[in-house]
Structure 1
Amino acid sequence: MTDGSQHRYRTVWISDIHLGTRGCQAEPLLDFLRSVECDTMYLVGDVIDFWRMRRARYWPQSHNDVIQKLLRKARKGTRVILTPGNHDDMLRGYVDHEFGHILVVGDAIHVLADGRRLLVIHGDQFDSVVARAPWLGHLGTHANAASQLVNQWFNWGRLKLGYPYWSLSGYLKHKVKHRGQFIANYEKALVEEARRRGVDGVVCGHIHYPEQKILDGILYYNDGDWVDNRTALVEHHSGELELLRWPETPAVRPMAEVISLVS
């Protein structure tokens, strides 16, 4: 491919973009997409936030640009695979269909260059709140929308004062009582599913908490999100995996900060 990309990977995983919401960090994501090439790209759910869009229309040009860039990558030879999440669950009715060369699947098994096998799945199926009481998930979505609106004004003020972007909404989420136990339970459920499937690990999203670890001999990767964290998981051609956080100032365009690494 010759789209001006600067960094080459075997595979890239991104999720929880939430296009159609004010919290979506579309411009940094677009900068990231312009700066990378890969053989395979997984969109691990919640790409478009249909939940929010049913109540309020918000679709700036930058969100359209992200969609066009993903479609362009697919046309030019990148294998793009989408595993729907709870916010774009309407796409689960189109499993095994292609849209603009983007294949929709329920989940996938990805084989790393070194032969290890990873389950790729959004993960909302293992979130007891969403799975057992969908209306609570919607309630949480609206509360999150309010915190993201405050976050926008907060960061407008920070930028005016010369400070870099900092996610107030992400900080508040991580301070919520019992969140630590919820995350631990979520990770355990995904690891158990990977073990049941007979694979070496799992790549997921959903909880907006980028992480990599080994639990009971199973690899666990959460690729984070493009609302609070601006993170992606990438595979080098050796099979080595890196969890990346995209730079705070996209105009500088340096290599993304490596925030964790497992080989």
Structure 2
Amino acid sequence: MKKVKLHRKRKVDVVVISDVHLGTYGCHAKELLAYLKSIKPKKIILNGDIIDIWQFSKNYWPTSHMQVVKYLTGLIAKGVQVTYITGNHDEMLRKFVGFKLGSFSIQNKEVLELDGQKAWIFHGDVFDVTMKHSKWLARLGAHGYDLLILLNSLVNFICHKLNRNKVSFSRSIKNRVKSAVKFINDFEQVCAEIAIENQFQYVVCGHIHQPEIREITNGKGAVTYLNSGDWVENLTALEYYDGKWHLYRHQEDAAAPQDLHHLEDVTAESLDTNQLFLNLISEFNLKRA
């Protein structure tokens, strides 16, 4: 009998994942599941926009998206600490802030002490002017972004067939449009300055889909700004181990499992939206050990 070679899981202290957008066409749920299966974390922080409730549709909920939920709840059942920090696309969960069940909790923010250093962790939409004053515009932008990702997927499929390099429309827009670049820079600067003011050594965000680790200084001090990116375009996460933060990029991980193609992307067309949410809730209805 042929032996199956098992890959040893990497041990990490903390993993921060944000902007997965489960329930949308752009979400790379299979790749995320492969990543989660490759690590052994002590604590997972889901830093907002994990389930995209804004764009949730009864016509699109693939098996691979539910598999991510099932795997996370399996980790919770084993006692792995999982904190769900609310974002803007899953803002309806804010009514459940403070909820705790076993090793799972829902919060708006979290402060961690890591080797004597304090990390301030939150999604980041609180600093988005568009979110605060024109929520309808933000929702419209979200739908436009999802359409752009769909178009990008089609173009990259053709590029793959022609042996051409992949392209990213969204990344090109962010890098070339001055207002987009300014928004990202302003976002990072505001987060850093408030963190410095409150004497945090790290500030960890998501929201803008821009993975980053860099030091930001001002006249009052310095802070390490970190952004976990997303699982729509960048496929990135933040990991803390060996006393420092690391930026994980799935596309650069040659050891990442790639054996998830057997999962069928069966949509939930036969279920109405209420039933889908009941199914999701039932996954989190864990019994205490």
TM-score (norm: length of structure 1): 0.87
Partners of 2:38 and 2:256 within 8 A in 1? no
Q: Which has the bigger relative contact order, CA under 8 A and spacing at least 6?
A: 2
CA apart distance, 1:128: 1.3
Q: Distance in 2 between matches of 1:5 and 1:59?
A: 31
Aligned residue in 1 for 2:250 = 246
Query: Which one-letter code corresponds to 1:214 in the other structure?
Result: E
CA apart distance, 1:102: 2.4
Aligned residue in 2 for 1:257 = none
Q: Distance in 2 between matches of 1:192 and 1:129?
A: 20
Query: Which one-letter code corresponds to 1:159 in the other structure?
Result: H
What do the CA deviations read for 1:214-257 (whole angstroms, capped 9, x no partner)? Answer: 11101100010000100010001x32110110036878649xxx
Q: Distance in 2 between matches of 1:232 and 1:220?
A: 14
Q: CA RMSD in A?
A: 2.2
Aligned residue in 1 for 2:266 = none
What do the CA deviations read for 1:109-167 (whole angstroms, capped 9, x no partner)? Answer: 0111x211010000000111112221111111111011011012122223334557553
Q: What percentage of residue pairs aligned between the two structures are identical? A: 37
Q: Distance in 1 between matches of 2:236 and 2:128?
A: 21
Query: Which one-letter code corresponds to 2:216 in the other structure?
Result: L
2:181 is paired with a residue whose SS is helix
* Number of aligned positions between the proteins: 249
Equivalent residue for 1:220, pick from 188, 201, 225:
225
What do the CA deviations read for 1:39-70 (whole angstroms, capped 9, x no partner)? Answer: 0010000000001116x631101100011111
Aligned residue in 1 for 2:269 = none
Q: Closer, same or farther in 2 for the Cα pair 1:38/1:252, shift >3 Å? A: closer
Q: Distance in 1 between matches of 2:158 and 2:255?
A: 20
Query: Which one-letter code corresponds to 1:189 in the other structure?
Result: V
CA apart distance, 1:99: 5.8
TM-score (norm: length of structure 2): 0.80
Query: Which one-letter code corresponds to 2:246 in the other structure?
Result: E
The structure having more radius of gyration, on CA atoms, is 2
Partners of 1:154 and 1:168 within 8 A in 2? no
1:155 is paired with a residue whose SS is helix
Structure 2 gap segments, 5+ residues each? 1-5, 259-289
Query: Which one-letter code corresponds to 2:192 in the other structure?
Result: V
Query: Which one-letter code corresponds to 1:247 in the other structure?
Result: Q
Give the 5 Å matches for 1:17-96: 17-53=20-56, 57-96=59-98
Farther-moved stretch of structure 1 (100-109 vs 165-174): 165-174
Q: Closer, same or farther in 2 for the Cα pair 1:239/1:251, shift >3 Å? A: closer
